Structure 1
Amino acid sequence: MSRTPSLPSDGDASRKGRRGGRPGDSEPPPPPAPDTSLADEAQRRYLNYALSVITSRALPDVRDGLKPVQRRILYAMLHDLHLGPDAKYRKSAAVVGDVMGKYHPHGDVAIYDAMVRLAQDFVMRAPLIAGHGNFGSVDGDAPAAMRYTEAKLRPLALELLSELGQRTVDFRPNYDGTRFEPIVLPSRFPNLLVNGSQGIAVGMATSIPPHNLGEVIDACVALIENRELTTHRLLSYVKGPDFPTGGQLHATKKELEAVYTAGQGSLKLRGEWQLEEGDGKRGAAPQIVITSIPYGIERKAIVEKIAEVILSKKLPTLVDVRDESTGEVRIVMELKRGADAQLVMAYLYKQTPLAINVQVNLTCLVPTDNAEIAAPRRLGLHEILTKFLDFRYATVTRRLEFELGELRRRITILEGFEKIFDALDEVIRIIRKSEGKADAAEKLMKRFTLNEEQTDAILELKLYRLARLEILLVQKDLGEKRAEAKRIEGLLRSDAKRWGIVRDELVEIKGSYGEKRRTKVVGSIDEPEYQAEDFIVAEDANVILSAQGWVKRVREVKDLASTRIREGDSVLAAVAGSTRSTVAFFSNLGACYVCRIHDVPQSTGYGDPVQKLFKLADGERLIALMSFDPRALDVPAQTPDSAEPEPPFALAITRGGLGFRFSLRPHRDPSTRSGRRFAKLNEGDEVLFVHAVDGADRVLCASSDAWALSVAVEELALLSGPGKGSVVMRVAEGERLVGAALALGPSDVITVETEKGKTLEIAASKIAGQRGTQGEPVARRDRFARVVPPAVVVPTLEVS
């Protein structure tokens, strides 16, 4: 079958809408537009914009699988620039300029980006354009400018374009009405599934992953033979997405069926790896080699992320990473001797882009009763294949009708030659005696009963065709054309025979372009479970928090007074624990931020702002620090379905005089950057004191008007979730609490500093009272400025 289509001439383009007239002619002014509300007009215009984006830019057509810009690029390359597979490469800038000037006036950058994508073999499962030059790489390198690259069509692209000149699809005027462009290409294979598509429209999006050409064609052939096949049966042919970058697809048959039936869902994709054992003689360490990466992920991003894991020492068994990739992916990671490669990869799959979730959304444009309008719909696998096959069947029918029309026209001309051959002398005599072509045509038509088409062919006949041998060729050609016309008429009368043509052509394309599957489908994931602390070297460390919010981890600290802090700052708290244990930071806005001690940056300097670890709100600051190392404070895991708060408990006091106890168990494990709430505060209030109450007897509070109160800890409300608590000490209007402290017995004291700079020690027994009272006055002619916290000491760990 010929692959060089005959395309419609641009000279046939419609000239509708053009007006002309004599100079001085004038048209009456248009009538004034009726008044309309701004809301109605904005809604109408936004809907018009949304419809334009959906149908003319972002979504592919179910029939040829192309967006308008892609279709116009391919059409311009063949029809206008003649850049078939056998042509010489042409500058990409020439292609972009032709497409933008004639068909797609939306900017050269968008056109070139779409053209580059059609040529990238790591993006398209079956690329349609052959690129010459730098068209980008899987590493994320950008393509060269269009003035430097060249392109032409690949042979597979002709399977989309080859039938354009046979009236198989409808054409419409381009944006300025100077030429025609096809509404859709007469695709001979289901390109929508083979190459997939990504697009974001207004209020909808599409995300169709690429598939294997051979598998999709096998499913089409099976559907032709049995149109009642279910999605479940079709998935025995289409195993799932087949990405050009390979990888492993982890999905069961049930999960795939759910996705392909609903037309949307999520599938797990991850890179492949293999273990290369070291050479025992030379002492080489074992190494993990990554041989494929997930689709759409830059290779360098994976290498950089693995390098970050190594530098942060979150995976001590991983020593080094390097990229040895050439044409194939080869990322090499060196391991320590005795390391568990399965465990290392389980960690990397969760902490790096080596494993991703692929979103599937099979939304595309579906033809309507109006040939020029397609509507967006989300389809399942069965519907996509059915609509493509119906389109292909209609295309084959129109192609046969076109071929039959051309045959009949040729038969008519050959029959005219046959009629006049035995009377050639008379024909020549009539022509010689005529007064011109029109007169000769009229006389020949009258004498031999010819039509106009036959007469024109006779008058244009070359003299050498009058030889006796030529009539034999004419008669032979006539017989062949009549036999071919009869065959096509038979095909047009039989639906089954036309479906047979569709099937045979699909099988032929599979034989020419089919490739082995690259992405492996694995039903279930069999990998070891791991805990993050499994990769942390267990060692004791100290965490130091400053009043201004700087935090650091140090191996040893002998004297907190000598530790490095910024000028004007001071040590707020210091705790100790194993690097595998967690540490909790409590803020004045009622949030608890938890991380492993290993995650606190190690430093011998000032440390790092705590904002690097957590996402603090404006005005939020840290007021307390607790180590959850079992030797410092044993916080067991929370009991499932427990209705009551479980020990150990912590106490929180606010400036408004409220207080409560809460369980530390919900805060035992690392939190997100946003932390977990432990308190709900009234407007303008803040937490000023948080402390574990294990063994504490009473809590001592002091207010700014120099009153103090000591309350039994058991009297405070015990909350099961974030709350406001109850009144601990009633403060006068306009006054606030300045601090609190815990006492183990009546002899313990609270130390306060007055506004005049004096320091007072107040025994718990002298200010003992009931919860919710104002307490006892301490200083008549002075006010309290703050409660002096106990000196921060070098943390120690209990020996278990």
Structure 2
Amino acid sequence: MPEHMSMLAQADSKTRKKQDASGNGGGRGGATAGGSGGGGDSIAAPLAEEARRRYLNYALSVITSRALPDVRDGLKPVQRRILYGMYHDHRLTQDAKYQKSAKVVGTIMGQYHPHGDTAIYDALVRMAQDFSLRYPLVDGHGNFGSLDGDAAAAMRYTECRMAGIANELLAELGKKTVGFRPNYDGTLFEPIVIPARVPQLLMNGTTGIAVGMATNIPPHHLGELCDALVMLIQDKEASVRDLMKFIKGPDFPTGGQILNSKQELREIYESGQGSVRIRGEYDLEDMKRGGQQIVITSIPYTVNKSNLVAKIGDLVRERKLPLLLDVRDESTKEVRIVLEIKKDASPELVMAYLYKHTPLQTTFGVNLTCLVPTENPEVGAPQRLDLKSILQYFLDFRFEVVTKRFQHELGELLKRVHILEGFEKVYDALDEMIKIIRASEGKQDAAKKLMARFKLDEIQVDAILEMKLYKLARLEILVVEKELGEKRAEIKRIEGILKDKKKIWGTVKSELDEIKAAYNDKRRTRIGGAGSEEVEFSEEAFIADEDAHVVLTRDGWIKRVREVKDPSTTRLREGDAVMTVLAGSLKANLVLFSNMGAAYVTRFNDVPASTGYGDPVQKLFKFDDNERIVGALSLDGRLSKPEKLVAVTKDGLGLRFALEGHTEVSTRSGRRYAKTGEGDEIIGVQPVGEKDLLAVLTDKTSALVCKANEVNELQGPGKGVMVIKVEDGDRVVEFLSVPPGQKDKSIEFETQKGRKLSLNPGKYEVTGRGGKGHEMSRKDAVKEVIRPVTFIPLPEQKKD
């Protein structure tokens, strides 16, 4: 038994022992400890221990009796009970008339599976869906759902019977091949497992979630499974690699293409877990008016077709894929999703985008967990197996079933021969037998006299006395003698098989060959990864090669426009103003710096185009409360990009950092470039050169100019160093970084007293960082900083 199952059982046992030792485990009507409890039949127990014990019991029940399939017949309990009820109680074999599903569900719920009719009907419906099971076990008549996610009709409307292949699971049931156990109320018996002749676990796969574990087994091709089983019979030492010469990989009922390499699939089958990448397939059709259209002919397993079509339709409506013009679902029984594309569009490029952005390509998480036999025949233990182990468990089960079947047949033959030998004895003295019977006083008297005269036992005598008179005819006697000879020959043959394991394995092998011959069909899922010539998905391939401008306002609104001749004429919300205009190609990136120390990088193309106000920048990124943009930079290759940037906080701290780490597209959460102290925030980010001067202005008109290289360059996010000491109640309101000697750039501001002042780093005294600076207007404060719009246009000649 696996370790986790053993631990569950031990915990349950320990809890029971504790209760027995404390005197709380048995007896009725006893006084409870400390006067606690609630009535004569109550048992005092620690709440934590009792909750733990009951949860463990629940977990064991879900694992062993609900969610996981048995490795031998490959069925969960509800599936097994449905098939058994249809076969045993309703005789709904493949040639029987359909019966209402409600009638079947009622029988299963009332006699075998008391967990609600919805759960039973859902399981029955899935067993009838040819897009859920590779080989459906139930033949449904009526609406049993669709690939579009449509639910099945109510059980009172649908009808069902067993599918032909389901008979292979149950045909040997009446030959004492498997054990039985009482049903939930002890009034009937149900099989522990059914004597499956087909490897149902891998053939149809299954999925289930238990407590602390789950299973997800993909379906496979039955012919390949039979070939692999035959090989394993002939060579017990065969490896997973050897078995995969026959089992190429999963075979999903909805077709598709598996992209995993042989090496990846082998690792999945050896470990019992992994991910299978699967995508839908498509064909190209020539149009009468020229050009081509794409026809999707298969979709991945478990994908809802209507949702897939809706997702593609959204791409068309939002024009995220300009090459795609329209999508139509023309499916009947076969999948046919038609994609109308532009005449000059590359179909491979369109499909590469759809594989990336829609469920047309998905992954199937393989988890080969199932219940394996234990010493207790009624309880299985969960275990994750590899491919060979699953096949070997099935073969061992088939060997056991075939052996028991032969033993049962031998027993029946011996019983029949025993009766026929009784007939043989009396046929030589028919007149005497009749005379004895006529002279007897009744059946019992006749039986005693016949047993004494012909040395017969009760079984033989009873058969003789129940025999019809026409059986005494000469031809009937010859028939008995012929049957006796045939039965004795059959007994000799079966005894020979039972004495030789090789002959039993030969029978198992021949039956597998018969299964393959009867149900073999064409593989639906194509195996093989993407070819070397396949078009790789590239977002840039779907972005127009044209220039655009991004307008960012001081209130945090952002939009993309084709061109900007005059920033002051762009449409803005009342009271808002343009902060920055960034120019660049739609394929280029731009970076936005926030006051919380985060850098957000996106493409120009990803900024929503608008002729109105645009969108709040928070819609594009995941902002914290009170976070706003304080700096921005275009990363277009035609513009000169600074190597270093400088940031200053309102508390007078400054830091330099490299742009290099903030050029690639980021997540919605951005990348951290600085850390801000409590109550502090960054007021701006600007490009800086190694010889630049840094000018800083506070609210109380204190100004300081220092060399920018005195500000430490940080390799990672940090708080920085002191640039200017800020008194209590004061704060930095603006800063400027310019090359030394440049006199045309300055900080322009107006004070509360109405003075208009200018802080020009080229004309101001340069001091060391960390000082208090000089007051530009005594006992005055900054009323407004006049900030010009930042706009660096693109060069006229566009580089290739």
Under a length normalisation based on structure 1, what TM-score does the superposition of the two structures give? 0.88
Aligned partner of 1:626: which letter?
L
Mapping for residues 154-173 of structure 1, pairs under 5 Å: 154-173=163-182
Q: Show the counterpart of 1:390.
A: 396
Q: Show the counterpart of 1:713.
A: 708
1:253 aligns with 2:273: no
- Contact 1:652–1:689 (CA under 8 A) maintained in structure 2: yes
- Contact 1:252–1:524 (CA under 8 A) maintained in structure 2: no
Match of 1:414 among 417, 420, 425: 420
SS at match of 2:92: coil
Q: Show the counterpart of 1:267.
A: 276
Q: CA deviation at 1:169?
A: 0.8
Single out whichever of 229-238 and 525-534 deviates more from structure 2: 525-534
1:354 aligns with 2:360: yes
1:674 aligns with 2:659: no
1:195 aligns with 2:193: no
1:297 aligns with 2:303: yes
* Counterparts of 2:786 and 2:638, CA distance in 1: 24
Single out whichever of 677-686 and 561-570 deviates more from structure 2: 561-570
Q: CA deviation at 1:400?
A: 0.6
Q: Show the counterpart of 1:796.
A: 793
Q: CA deviation at 1:437?
A: 4.2
Q: CA deviation at 1:203?
A: 1.9
Single out whichever of 569-578 and 56-65 deviates more from structure 2: 569-578
Q: Show the counterpart of 2:132.
A: 123
SS at match of 2:365: strand
Q: Show the counterpart of 2:39.
A: none
The 3 A distance-change label for structure 1 pair 310 and 671 is: farther
Match of 1:497 among 499, 503, 514: 503
Q: Show the counterpart of 1:769.
A: 767
Aligned partner of 1:601: which letter?
P
- Contact 2:692–2:739 (CA under 8 A) maintained in structure 1: yes
Single out whichever of 373-382 and 463-472 deviates more from structure 2: 463-472
1:228 aligns with 2:237: yes
Q: CA deviation at 1:388?
A: 0.6
Aligned partner of 1:514: which letter?
N
Aligned partner of 1:361: which letter?
N
- What do residues 637-680 of structure 1 show as CA deviations (whole Å, max 9, x unaligned)? xxxxxxxxxx5222222334332122222222222222222223
The 3 A distance-change label for structure 1 pair 460 and 723 is: farther
Q: CA deviation at 1:498?
A: 0.7
- What do residues 328-382 of structure 1 show as CA deviations (whole Å, max 9, x unaligned)? 2222223333333333333332232222233222111111121111111111111
The 3 A distance-change label for structure 1 pair 780 and 116 is: farther
Q: CA deviation at 1:126?
A: 0.8
The 3 A distance-change label for structure 1 pair 224 and 29 is: same
* Counterparts of 1:194 and 1:135, CA distance in 2: 21
* Counterparts of 2:228 and 2:161, CA distance in 1: 31
Q: CA deviation at 1:221?
A: 0.7
Q: CA deviation at 1:163?
A: 0.9
Q: Show the counterpart of 1:594.
A: 601
SS at match of 1:372: coil
Mapping for residues 88-107 of structure 1, pairs under 5 Å: 88-107=97-116
Mapping for residues 399-438 of structure 1, pairs under 5 Å: 399-428=405-434, 430-431=436-437, 436-438=442-444
Single out whichever of 323-332 and 76-85 deviates more from structure 2: 323-332
Q: Show the counterpart of 2:688.
A: 693
Q: Show the counterpart of 1:374.
A: 380
Q: Show the counterpart of 1:29.
A: 29
Q: Show the counterpart of 2:35.
A: none
The 3 A distance-change label for structure 1 pair 534 and 123 is: same
Q: CA deviation at 1:166?
A: 0.9
- Contact 2:690–2:709 (CA under 8 A) maintained in structure 1: no
- Contact 1:83–1:153 (CA under 8 A) maintained in structure 2: yes
* Counterparts of 2:307 and 2:689, CA distance in 1: 47
Aligned partner of 1:254: which letter?
Q
* Counterparts of 2:315 and 2:587, CA distance in 1: 16
* Counterparts of 2:370 and 2:46, CA distance in 1: 34
* Counterparts of 2:506 and 2:170, CA distance in 1: 21
SS at match of 2:767: coil
* Counterparts of 2:129 and 2:207, CA distance in 1: 15
Aligned partner of 2:173: which letter?
L
The 3 A distance-change label for structure 1 pair 425 and 31 is: farther
Gaps of 5+ in 2: 1-26, 33-41
Q: CA deviation at 1:689?
A: 1.4
Q: Show the counterpart of 2:587.
A: 580
Q: CA deviation at 1:751?
A: 4.1
- Contact 2:690–2:708 (CA under 8 A) maintained in structure 1: no
1:345 aligns with 2:351: yes
Q: Show the counterpart of 2:629.
A: 622
1:457 aligns with 2:463: yes
- Contact 2:580–2:791 (CA under 8 A) maintained in structure 1: no
Mapping for residues 169-184 of structure 1, pairs under 5 Å: 169-184=178-193
Single out whichever of 437-446 and 578-587 deviates more from structure 2: 437-446
SS at match of 2:602: strand
Mapping for residues 476-491 of structure 1, pairs under 5 Å: 476-491=482-497
- What do residues 365-418 of structure 1 show as CA deviations (whole Å, max 9, x unaligned)? 111121111111111111111111011111100111111111111111222222
RMSD of aligned Cα (Å): 2.8
The 3 A distance-change label for structure 1 pair 780 and 512 is: same
Q: CA deviation at 1:757?
A: 8.7
SS at match of 2:521: coil
SS at match of 1:720: coil
* Counterparts of 1:151 and 1:633, CA distance in 2: 73
Q: CA deviation at 1:575?
A: 1.7
* Counterparts of 2:681 and 2:569, CA distance in 1: 32
Q: Show the counterpart of 1:108.
A: 117
1:134 aligns with 2:166: no
Mapping for residues 600-749 of structure 1, pairs under 5 Å: 600-634=607-641, 647-693=642-688, 697-704=692-699, 707-732=702-727, 736-744=731-739, 747=743, 748-749=745-746
Q: CA deviation at 1:118?
A: 1.1
The alignment of Structure 1 onto Structure 2 pairs a total of residues equal to: 758
* Counterparts of 2:568 and 2:301, CA distance in 1: 54
* Counterparts of 2:501 and 2:30, CA distance in 1: 54
Q: CA deviation at 1:705?
A: 5.5
Q: Show the counterpart of 2:15.
A: none
The 3 A distance-change label for structure 1 pair 210 and 799 is: same
* Counterparts of 2:670 and 2:229, CA distance in 1: 52
- Contact 1:696–1:742 (CA under 8 A) maintained in structure 2: no
- Contact 1:751–1:759 (CA under 8 A) maintained in structure 2: yes
Q: Show the counterpart of 2:19.
A: none
Q: Show the counterpart of 1:24.
A: none
Gaps of 5+ in 1: 1-26, 635-646
The 3 A distance-change label for structure 1 pair 737 and 214 is: same
The 3 A distance-change label for structure 1 pair 236 and 436 is: same
The 3 A distance-change label for structure 1 pair 613 and 92 is: farther
The 3 A distance-change label for structure 1 pair 565 and 98 is: farther
- What do residues 687-709 of structure 1 show as CA deviations (whole Å, max 9, x unaligned)? 33122335983333344555443
Percent of pairs with identical residues: 57
- What do residues 595-618 of structure 1 show as CA deviations (whole Å, max 9, x unaligned)? 211121112223233344323334
The 3 A distance-change label for structure 1 pair 491 and 714 is: same
Mapping for residues 79-94 of structure 1, pairs under 5 Å: 79-94=88-103
- Contact 1:306–1:321 (CA under 8 A) maintained in structure 2: yes
Single out whichever of 721-730 and 403-412 deviates more from structure 2: 721-730
* Counterparts of 1:688 and 1:432, CA distance in 2: 123
- Contact 1:557–1:794 (CA under 8 A) maintained in structure 2: no
Aligned partner of 1:791: which letter?
P
SS at match of 2:747: strand
- Contact 1:285–1:334 (CA under 8 A) maintained in structure 2: no
Single out whichever of 289-298 and 117-126 deviates more from structure 2: 289-298
The 3 A distance-change label for structure 1 pair 427 and 548 is: farther
